[in-house]
Structure 1
Amino acid sequence: MKYERALLEDWMRDFYYDADFDLGSSGVECITFGDLRKTANISLNELDQIVLKDSDSFGGESLREVIAKRWGDNNPEHVMVTHGSSEATYLILNSLLDAGDEVVVLNPSYHPLVSIPEKIGCDISFWNMDSDSGFSVGMEELRELMTDKTKMLVLNFPHNPTGVTITLKQYHEILSIVSEVDAYLLWDGAFADIVYDTDPLPNPLIYYKKSISTGTFSKSFGMPGLRFGWCTASREVLEKLVPLRDRLTLHLSPLTEFLAEKAILCIDEILKNKRLQAKENLKVLEAWISLHSETITWAKPAGGVAVFIKFKGITDTESLCKDLGERWKTLLVPGKCFGYPEYVRLGFGDNQAKLIGGLKVLEEYIQKIYLTEEEDHTHNSIHE
């Protein structure tokens, strides 16, 4: 089973590391190890005491306890820690699905949620978000897609790349729909902790035993380099992940587990700063877009720190994003990476000074584009 290269990851490799302004990433500003040590009150003596031995396949008990209390159903037996949520996603999809299984996936989606079931040989149906109404979702459309043959429903809210989320009423309706056909529900909760005008949605496992939720330090907490994630599910489901994990990573480093547990114990303080930064950055972005409403359209995000935006008259943003990356050292992600070439993913999670700097570059660039178009139009009109 061989995979093609992932467009999104290739794009990030090409333009992320050299960018002066990051307007493409979907996570908050990263913290330093010093920041974490200070916030979590980690001493050098504690670090010196860590024994670099093998860890439990599911994760240390005390670590699973704090995850279960914070993001799960209070049962540590329903938690497995992983190398980011990417490993969790890979384990879940490859362990629970077989060729020919029917899977319903939200569209657009983060690429592994689609490419892995495709490579397994699943029959995929897409629950398409309505781009004409701010990427909203239709419950009737979902109900029509779900059948007695559906093996799994794959969702991500708050959504990457649009920032859209669902209401609590819609959430419970989804649980009702998936339970009626007795399908698995894979719930990607990477952005669950950053929402703007509502409370975070609860873990579906609390209400539906065939739910599997994934979480990560990468998006809402500013620690992607720790490569720490988890999944919560019934013990029966988690046991099904073990054979594949035994052939991949086996377990996490005890150093990673130690730092992760320390971080979770002070996660409210970390999250408080990240939520405040996200809200203030969203205000900056909203004001900026309002100044360019004649050329840019968007749907204000309800969660996360990324949004899909559309430039008037541009049907494929790849060359625009490439030019910005190569010549202007500013990262934007073309919508092609999500199957929507007319859009770009704009991330606003970086520190505010860099966000403003990046928006100034983007403003200068789009003014150049549309001014050139107007000049060309005027020139052509004169000579008609």
Structure 2
Amino acid sequence: MTVESADHRAIGQISPALLEDWLRERYFTLPVDISSSGVENYSLGRLRELLGIPQDALDEIAFRDSPSVGSRELREVIARRFGDGRPDSVMVTHGSTEALFLALAAIVRPGDEIVVLHPVYHSLHSIAEVLGARLRVWRLDPADGFAPDLDRLRDLLSDRTRAVLVNFPHNPTGATLPPASYAEFLRLIAMRECYLLWDGAFSELVYDGDPLPDPRVFLDRAISVGTLSKAYGLPGLRVGWCLAPPDLLATMVKVRDYVSISTSPLAEFLATAVLTNGDKIVAERLGQARLNREILRGWAAGTQDAIDLAVPLGGVCAFPAVRGVTDVHEICDALESLGVLVVPGVCFGHPDRMRIGFGGPTEVMSAGLRAITQVIRGQV
């Protein structure tokens, strides 16, 4: 595979985040949202009810700065739930987006070879690109249902590989690695002196087996990031985390001193309560997503003459193609006129597809799917 030439630019010249550009206004104005990659949002009242948080506990929080890597209590909870139990390997961040940015800023040097997925969420290629990396693209083939092909990855790895960036379960397709393939994937990474940057935003949203264990358990040079925005239904809390070697976290803190300094003690308090009771918080929304996935599967079967869908194995978004259509933009515009929000596939480099989110309220998703059927059948 051809290696794309490095192009070290000012950070302000980073490629536009096409997904965010599409959602920026529509997300707040269209009533039927089936675009999102997270589950139905929790309210503070529902959280307090589920977790037994008294009002007094919130009232006592002082709005002072938090430690640069986050509160000790939250880092301990994250280390127990996702890592090796060592809080010194954990950093609390403003969502996984900040974690990805800081980690890449710490490891990428101009000219480094970085393996990235395609299609993929923009943060998992554009940041490395603007930092001067030479991107080697691990393509997920629609003909294979976007299943990760380890032979293709093997051909991309070399002694010049600095890092491999992946997110499984995958955004936008819902593809993931089966356990046996995951073990082989880790073995391939371990054979090289490179980092693995693992975006685990959807790691707890799986349907046909147990979540894959965090790679930090197996690889010293693994960096994994997570967030409360997806499986936990708390995107507005803006809490994420990074599990990484402590020396790398020290470099990330140095960069962070110029960006965000620290996270909020209120957000950290709530995040600690949420992750202490993580199974309870995730289970309610995972059950809803499982039901919605079956509705989505049935809808795709009923429209298979027009819709080509690889059923997602994880996450809460699907990436169907519309048969015979090379660019779904007009379809997305027609849906917008009906008050329905989806994401055109051009945001992920596949203009014949659209991203559909199925993690929200069942009645909203069903209404959105009915609207898609009407549009593709020419009934509006």
Query: Which residues in structure 2 correspond to 1:144-223 (within 5 Å)?
Result: 144-223=155-234
- Equivalent residue of 1:136, what SS? coil
1:365 maps to what in 2? Answer: 375
Q: 1:8 aligns with which of 1, 12, 19?
A: 19
Counterpart for residue 322 of structure 1 = 333
Q: Alignment partner for residue 123 of structure 2, among 102, 105, 112?
A: 112
CA deviations 1:33-52 (Å, max 9, x no partner) are 10111111111111111111
AA aligned to 1:351 is: P
Unaligned runs of 5+ in 2: 1-9
Q: 1:346 pairs with 353, 356, 373, which one?
A: 356
**Secondary structure of the equivalent of 2:319?**
strand
CA–CA distance in structure 2, aligned partners of residues 251 and 185 of structure 1:
25
Gaps of 5+ in 1: 373-384
Alignment of 1:80-119 (within 5 A): 80-119=91-130
Structure 2 counterpart of 1:340, one-letter code: H
Q: CA deviation at 1:283?
A: 1.0
Question: Which residue of 288, 291, 303 corresponds with 1:277?
Answer: 288
Structure 1 residue 4: Cα displacement: 3.8
TM-score, normalising length: structure 2: 0.95
Q: Is the 8 A contact 2:148 2:175 kept in 1?
A: no
> Equivalent residue for 1:247?
258
What secondary structure, in the 3-state scheme, does the structure 1 residue paired with 2:36 have? coil
Whole-Å Cα distance in 1 between the matches of residues 278 and 125 of structure 2? 31
Q: 1: CA distance between counterparts of 2:322 and 2:331?
A: 10
- What is the rounded CA distance, in whole Å, between the counterparts of 1:65 and 1:230 in structure 2? 12
When structure 1 is superposed on structure 2, of 356-365 and 147-156 the one drifting more is 356-365
Identity of aligned residues (%): 43
Whichever of the two has the greater Rg, that structure is 1
Distance (whole Å) between structure 1 residues aligned to residue 326 and residue 261 of structure 2: 45
Q: Does 1:79 align with 2:84?
A: no
Q: 1:4 to 1:145 in 2, by over 3 A?
A: closer
| In 2: Cα distance, 1:181 partner to 1:113 partner | 20
What is the rounded CA distance, in whole Å, between the counterparts of 1:259 and 1:137 in structure 2?
A: 36
1:285-308: CA deviation from partner (whole Å, max 9, x where unpaired): 111111101110111110011011
RMSD over equivalenced CA pairs, Å? 1.1
Q: Secondary structure at the match of 2:203?
A: coil
CA-CA distance at 1:170 after TM superposition: 1.2
Residue 347 of structure 2: SS of its match in structure 1?
helix
Deviation at 1:323, TM superposition (A): 2.5
Shift of 1:14: 3.2
Structure 1 position 319, deviation (Å): 2.1
| Contact 1:98 1:121 (C-alpha < 8 Å) held by counterparts | yes
Distance in 1 (CA, whole Å) between partners of 2:152 and 2:77 is: 37
TM-superposition CA deviations, 1:127-170 (whole Å, max 9, x none): 00111010112111111100001000001000000000111111
Alpha-carbon separation, structure 1, partners of 2:90 and 2:119? 28
Q: Give the equivalent residue in structure 2 for 1:30.
A: 41
Q: 2:248 aligns with which of 237, 240, 245?
A: 237
Answering whether residue 54 of structure 2 is matched by residue 43 of structure 1, we say yes
Q: Which amino acid aligns with 1:357?
A: A
Q: How far apart are residue 248 of structure 1 and its match?
A: 0.8
Aligned to 1:382: none
The question of whether the paired residues in 2 share the 8 Å contact of 1:73 and 1:203 is answered with no
Distance 1:331 1:103 in 2: 33
Which of 341, 344, 347 in structure 2 is aligned with 1:337?
347
Q: Which moved more, 1:192-201 or 1:174-183?
A: 174-183
TM-fit CA distance, 1:94 = 1.1
Distance in 2 between the 1:120 and 1:210 partners?
Answer: 20
Partner of 1:355: 365
| Residues in 1 aligned to 2:313 and 2:335: alpha-carbon distance in whole angstroms | 27
